[in-house]
Amino acid sequence: MLNLLEMEQLAAFAEYGTLSKAAEKLNVSQPTITRTMQHLEEEFGVSLFERSKNHITLNETGRRAVSYAVQLLKDAEKAVEDVQAFERSLHTITVSSCAPAPLWRLLPALSDAFPDMTLSSSIKSNASVLEDVKSGRCLLAVLPDIPEEGSIPETYRSRPFMKENLAVCVPPDHMFAGYKEVSFEVLNGYNFLLGTRLGFWDDMCREKMPASRFLVQTDQFTMQELIRESSLPCFVTDVAEYDEKIYGNRIVIPISDQEAKITFHIVYDGTDKKYAPAFAQLFDS
């Protein structure tokens, strides 16, 4: 039977060209790798090498053997990764969310309901969240609306979870400061500070305000300093808590468009015997 360690040595020989270099890279002795090449020929029952004095090269059959060796090593690595991932899945609740705010409420609720489980969450675009649902890469998904018919498997349930409304936040001397509400149409063309990991909110702002420019800040400290010191408007929502030392006397103005008023929905497989009853208790009440 073929041995993966020997397959690794064969692949290394093909990559590095000589027995000595392959032995060096794999941290084995040259006599060891020489014996391996001889044993592989015995296992395959054919000649794999062209030999001359103090030199050995792969023949055509040997190169074919190398292609199988490389594939076997890849398959073995994938098998290990898949088994490890499966083991993690038995003890992990994976959540794909279209926005950060639902996770602030969802993760604590899941932690209380499943104290022995590990929670793994990610913030993605709507399309990526739906892909995770279809592929089974997540046990729970959060979407900004009821999923369209046919966009998720028939066995999945969708339940309303929480609301979030988007607003802009401006200094008191900004031209929008006196507005009671403002639309995307009016905001379009103005520059904004924008954070990262906002999920679908990022896509929405760019779609609704194509003429605007967004100064994206990946560093939270830099973002906070710009909010405190600059006159640029930024976005806030009605479910986040904001530090008065950072936002100071900035004024919050709701965005009037219906698209800025979101009801997030939880999506999960209603036939999952392990989790569905507990999810139903959490979200269907």
115-119 contacts: CB < 8 A, separation 24 or more?
116/91, 117/91, 117/92, 117/93, 118/88, 118/91, 118/92, 118/93, 119/92, 119/93, 119/95
Structure tokens at 19: 């027995």
Indicate whether 89 pLDDT > 80: no
- Predicted confidence (pLDDT) per residue in 176-195, tens digit: 999 999 999 999 999 999 98
| pLDDT tens digits, 92-135 | 999 999 999 999 999 999 999 999 899 999 999 999 999 999 98
| Contact of 141 with 147, CB cutoff 8 Å | no
Which has the minimum average pLDDT: 44-48, 49-53, 96-100, 252-256? 49-53
The whole model's pTM is what?
A: 0.71
What span, in angstroms and rounded, lies between the C-alpha atoms of 152 and 141?
11
